[in-house]
Amino acid sequence: MAHVRIVLNPHAGNGDTTEIVELAESFGYELVATEGAGDAFRLATEAAGEGCAVVAAAGGDGTVHEVARGLFEAGSGQTALGIVPLGTGNDLARNLGIPLDVPTALERLGKPGHAIDVVRLEIDGSPAICLNVLNGGVSGQVSEAVTDEMKERWGRLSYLRAVTDTLAEISPFRVRLETEEGDVEEHTAYNVAIANGPRAGGGIPIAPEADPSDGLADVVVVRPAPLPRLATLLPAVLSGTEPESELFVSRRLGRGRITVDPPLPFSLDGEPGEGRDFRFEVIAAALQVRGTDRDRR
């Protein structure tokens, strides 16, 4: 079997790593554990440099993002990403059809998968990547509001609980979108997303038509409306159907630029941040991922 190295965040999930350590050994996989911020990126970069065939992230979406960034920046193209979901949201795994139970996810590391796109970003001049979704505005404030204690108590429902609290206090943002063709759109918005995958925030369909293998990103702008009006659209959103409404603006782009005022609180693959100027470009088929389900979107 090809050399598989697992980068484990020992604090993910409930912090009990007994099962994954024992199973990894039974599969013949090598396992290394992170000790702090940035370790997953460093360990993934080292593994790619050593020629590992697969480097798997065992943790939440933040750990997956770090490992993927390490592989993407290593640039060898010979090392595939694996995912063993141990977090609360596990959004990228859901979008790619990777099983959420540890034994099956580990078994899938030995199976073929397919290539996914990577969205290369520049946020206020700083480089970043997006595997799944950059989601800002209401969603960014929700990401900040969801504490570890809430995740432990409510699980995936913690995101919906935070949405309810946040909508009552949100103020709109001024958004300017420049497309690759040079067109310019200006919007007043509650939420802005640059989506490579369809779901974020523990499975909420942010951009139902987004496909991480089509070479394009879905930009979704949600315009302001009174809370009762937004509430009537919520069932359609949660069911994965983009509502037929003037409140939702969707564009599918290979590259573009979004500027926002005031600064936009956002969640990038599950990690919080804030910014005003977002440049993006989709790098098609940039990363091989093991054990995916091609029919799952």
Q: What positions carry a catalytic annotation?
A: 271
* 103-119 burial: b if 16+ Cβ within 10 Å, else e: eebbebbbeebebbbbb
Q: Which two tokens stand for residue 143?
A: 């990401």
3-state secondary structure of 71: helix
Question: Which helix (H) or strand (E) is 134 found in, with range?
Answer: strand 133-137
Q: With the CA atoms of 189, 190, 195 and 200 taken in that order, what torsion angle do they form, in degrees rounded to the nearest 10?
A: -170
Quote the CA–CA distance of 192 and 22 in Å, as a whole number.
42
Quote the CA–CA distance of 94 and 243 in Å, as a whole number.
22
Quote the CA–CA distance of 93 and 86 in Å, as a whole number.
10
Q: Which residues touch 258 (CB under 8 Å, ≥6 apart)?
A: 175, 176, 177, 178, 192, 194, 219, 277, 278, 280
- Of 56, 215, 126, 217, nearest to 206 (Cα)? 217
Burial class of residue 199 in the structure, from the number of CB atoms within 10 Å of its CB (0-12 exposed, 13-18 middle, 19+ buried): buried
- Of 250, 177, 183, nearest to 218 (Cα)? 250
DSSP codes, 6-69 = EEE-TTSTTS--HHHHHHHHHHT-EEEE--STTHHHHHHHHHHHTT-SEEEEEESHHHHHHHHH
Quote the CA–CA distance of 147 and 155 in Å, as a whole number.
11
